[in-house]
């Protein structure tokens, strides 16, 4: 999966500053996994530096713009996928019409001759 044109924002729907939710949206992951990873890192290292880093990230990571949401991005991707599937089926029909009729015509000629 490519992550082009995705920016990291703090989520407006997050629990504490929206950082874990923002990271989860940015990388299209469940937020519970991001929170669990953060807790494991805090417990494996010193808790205080992790919390300070979290607060610093909350200061530097911008808040998501109004109207920006994961659901909106998904619906846009679903629309693009639907358009792609529609174009693919249209191209397949065009190929069938262009090649299928000629092949069936040659098959008819070949079998009628024997």
pLDDT, position 63:
87
Separation CA 114–CA 102 (nearest Å): 19
Q: Which residue's entry shows tokens 């494991």?
A: 40
Higher pLDDT, 106 or 90: 90
Looking at residue 40, its pLDDT comes to 92
Find the distance separating the first CA and the last CA of the chain, reported in whole Å.
Answer: 54
pLDDT of residue 100: 63
**Predicted structure pTM score:** 0.54
Q: What is the mean pLDDT of residues 10-39?
A: 88
Confidence category of residue 96, pLDDT binned at 50, 70, 90: confident
Does residue 36 carry a pLDDT above 90?
A: yes
Name the residue ranges covered by the structural domains of the chain: 1-66, 69-114
Task: Report the percentage of the chain scoring pLDDT > 90.
Answer: 14
Question: Looking at residues 20-48, what average pLDDT do you find?
Answer: 89
């Amino acid at each position: 999966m490519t992550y082009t044109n995705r920016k990291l924002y703090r989520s407006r729907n997050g629990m504490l500053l929206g950082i874990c939710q923002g990271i989860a949206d940015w990388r299209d992951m469940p937020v519970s996994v991001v929170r669990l990873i953060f807790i494991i890192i805090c417990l494996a290292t010193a808790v205080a530096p992790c919390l300070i880093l979290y607060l610093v990230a909350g200061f530097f990571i911008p808040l998501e713009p109004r109207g920006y949401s994961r659901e909106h991005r998904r619906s846009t991707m679903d629309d693009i996928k639907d358009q792609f599937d529609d174009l693919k089926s249209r191209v397949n029909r065009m190929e069938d019409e262009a090649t299928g009729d000629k092949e069936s015509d040659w098959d008819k000629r070949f079998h009628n001759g024997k």
